[in-house]
Structure 1
Amino acid sequence: MSVQTEGTDTAGGPAVHKARTPGPPRDADHGSGSPSRRGGAAPYLLLLPALLATLVLLGWPLVKNGMLSFQNLNPRQLIQHLTEWNGFDNYKEVLTGSDFWHVVERSLVFTAINVVLIMVIGTLVGLLLARLGRRMRLLLMVGLVLAWAMPILASTTVYQWLFAQRFGVVNWVLDKLGWHSMADYNWTGGQVSTFTVIILLLVWQSVPFVAINLYAATTTIPRELYEAASLDGAGAWQSFTSVTFPFLRPFLYATTFLEVIWIFKAFPQIFAINEGGPDHLTETLPIYAFVQGVGNQHFGVGAAISFLTILVLLVMTSYYLRMVLKQEEDEL
């Protein structure tokens, strides 16, 4: 629609101008197939394959395991294809027994010792990488990567050879150094000595991850902050507490969280060293669930223990989750 208005042209005569009335604005994103709506749905479409794979590979086994924990499932039921539901009897049997709580206590102490050693040693090695020259740093990083890349069972076998009773390198070295009583020492004959070997193995496997990632985190710290700290008269320790540590704190929180999960669910190292022995004294919760479920063929009880293991792990990591979430809120 247009409106004619009368005016004067350059020759002095009347001139007619057409003025357009504004119509409704055109919405470039109008319609269900608009780019904005497609762009908003794109992240969800990209996440969909990963979510489906997670549901299939993790969700269904978890549901199946939960169903088994409420069944009386032994070899007889397996052979006859019987499904005997027994409610919470498996959980009552586990929770009312003293063995489960001893294993829980042992698992918590074992995890705490390992995580503390891994984080302290890994942090020191990472800071050392930041201080070394290029050649020495490259040499040390190659060694760390090789230790990290070695398959779990391969490295566990190496430790079994190192700590073997008769022909182990460790016993031979200790004998040569004057501890002749260690010449034929059985490292897997006691609880403390067996845990010592397992802890050394887990620390050796885990330190490279912490050290390399911490070194990578140190490279993001601006050098101007260290220069400003030195101008203010800060020493090495003060520079670490005021500059380095605040930047590394988020990394340390996240890495500690990952290491707690990694150590708590460690299975092949403990089982390969001595199968939770001697006398079940080195069983942690994953080993205990396997021994009760597969070893003793009480599959329902083993499923119940595995579910309780997940609950214990969630309780352990809830504190770190709250810390990480709180830190993200503070940064926002």
Structure 2
Amino acid sequence: MSLTSRARLRAGAALPYLLLLPALLATAALLVWPLVKNALLSLQNLNMRQLIQHLTEWNGVENYTETLGSEQFWRVTARSIAFTAANVALIMVLGTLVGLLLARLGRRMRLTLSVGLILAWAMPVIAATTVFQWLFAARFGVVNSLLDTLGWHAMADYNWTGGQLSTLFVVTLLLVWQSIPFVAFNLYAATTTIPAELYEAARLDGAGAVKLFTTVTYPFLRPFLLATTFLEVIWIFKSFAQLFAINEGGPERLTETLPVYAFVEGVGNQHYGMGAAISVLTILVLLGLTSYYLRLTLKQEEEQP
């Protein structure tokens, strides 16, 4: 083989990496460097005094040891995991049902429902949160007014953000409402890949609706369900704007999840090094939660023929 041919082969082998280089540089600038900077901040004693005087006071892993030794951190971590699990379960069940409904509707009804889902999905987070604050307002709120009209007069002036469970209920409704369109469209797109002949064969064998779903629909949807669940775990776990805008983690910090907790400790209490350490621990917890789903997804891909 001539030198020219070898040079062309090497250039051809390097071309994919050269094409990926701009994306890798952008990722490094927008993601990797902020993570590195945040990790460095987590090793510092950085409060308002150090920030104003431009002082760098390294304190090693003191922020981590103090955080891990805090009972509040473990309470918030447990709450974050339970909150994520409940929301993801609701989103996946309801989103799957809506996706299957889209597959069964006629063209006009499917278009109507799709437009409604897109509008809910496209609404900015803060705008949607403001709408829910208005719906669940203690005075002049639509929900309280409706409940009062239906006979639950004790709910006429009920403060939905005055208690832990009621606040989390409102935030859960908001997150589920925002997340269902993504799951529904993913699952509807997946159903279009299922051959109609499989349904016809199953019906000839006497399969009903439940049997059709378990033997035909679910095996095809399983990779999409795993991948979508993986994405939803990330989306719900890192959700910040909804919880903070509804009640800033209140009442009495009883609805804080890890992202809100990191913000309150870091920015609210001006313990920036502590907030950075909590955010690093939050990433580690999220990686632990998503690793299982990622392994399942990769295993599913390997099993595909």
Corresponding residue number in structure 1 for 2:136 = 163
Picking from 248, 252, 268, the partner of 2:225 is: 252
Corresponding residue number in structure 2 for 1:231 = 204
Corresponding residue number in structure 2 for 1:138 = 111
- Report the Cα offset of residue 102 of structure 1: 0.2
- Report the Cα offset of residue 43 of structure 1: 1.7
Distance of 2:10 and 2:55 partners within structure 1: 51
After TM superposition, list the pairs within 5 Å mapping 1:104-115 onto structure 2: 104-115=77-88
- Report the Cα offset of residue 27 of structure 1: 6.0
SS of 1:31's partner is: helix
Counterpart amino acid of 1:39?
G
Picking from 283, 286, 299, the partner of 1:310 is: 283
Q: Does 1:65 align with 2:65?
A: no
Corresponding residue number in structure 2 for 1:300 = 273
* Runs of 4+ with >4 A deviation: 26-29
Q: Does 1:215 align with 2:188?
A: yes
Scaled by the length of structure 1, what TM-score is found? 0.90
Corresponding residue number in structure 2 for 1:326 = 299
After TM superposition, list the pairs within 5 Å mapping 1:273-292 onto structure 2: 273-292=246-265
Distance of 1:247 and 1:38 partners within structure 2: 40
Distance of 1:184 and 1:328 partners within structure 2: 52
Corresponding residue number in structure 2 for 1:87 = 60
Corresponding residue number in structure 1 for 2:26 = 53
- Report the Cα offset of residue 121 of structure 1: 0.2
Counterpart amino acid of 2:98?
V
- Report the Cα offset of residue 252 of structure 1: 0.1
SS of 1:287's partner is: helix
Tell me, yes or no, if the aligned pair for 2:76 and 2:256 is still in contact at 8 Å: yes
Tell me, yes or no, if the aligned pair for 2:223 and 2:301 is still in contact at 8 Å: no
SS of 1:120's partner is: helix
Distance of 1:29 and 1:214 partners within structure 2: 50
SS of 1:30's partner is: helix
Q: For structure 2, which runs of at least 5 residues remain unmatched after alignment? A: none
Counterpart amino acid of 2:18?
L
Picking from 30, 37, 41, the partner of 2:5 is: 30
Corresponding residue number in structure 2 for 1:187 = 160
Picking from 219, 224, 243, the partner of 2:216 is: 243
42-51 vs 198-207, which moves further:
42-51
Corresponding residue number in structure 1 for 2:70 = 97
- Report the Cα offset of residue 232 of structure 1: 1.5
Counterpart amino acid of 2:104?
R
Deviation string 1:18-60 (CA, Å, 9 cap, x unpaired) is xxxxxxxx7697231x2x4333222211111111000001111
- Report the Cα offset of residue 322 of structure 1: 1.1
- Report the Cα offset of residue 330 of structure 1: 1.8
Name which structure has the greater RCO, CA cutoff 8 Å, separation 6+.
2
Deviation string 1:195-229 (CA, Å, 9 cap, x unpaired) is 00000000000000000111011001111111111
Deviation string 1:128-158 (CA, Å, 9 cap, x unpaired) is 0101111111100000000000000000000
SS of 2:285's partner is: helix
237-246 vs 270-279, which moves further:
237-246
Give the structure with the higher percent helix: 2
Picking from 92, 95, 105, the partner of 1:119 is: 92
Corresponding residue number in structure 2 for 1:13 = none
- Report the Cα offset of residue 230 of structure 1: 1.2
State the structure with more CA Rg. Answer: 1
Corresponding residue number in structure 1 for 2:123 = 150
Identity across aligned pairs (percent)? 74
After TM superposition, list the pairs within 5 Å mapping 1:5-20 onto structure 2: none
Tell me, yes or no, if the aligned pair for 2:96 and 2:187 is still in contact at 8 Å: yes
Q: For structure 1, which runs of at least 5 residues remain unmatched after alignment? A: 1-25
Distance of 1:331 and 1:251 partners within structure 2: 13
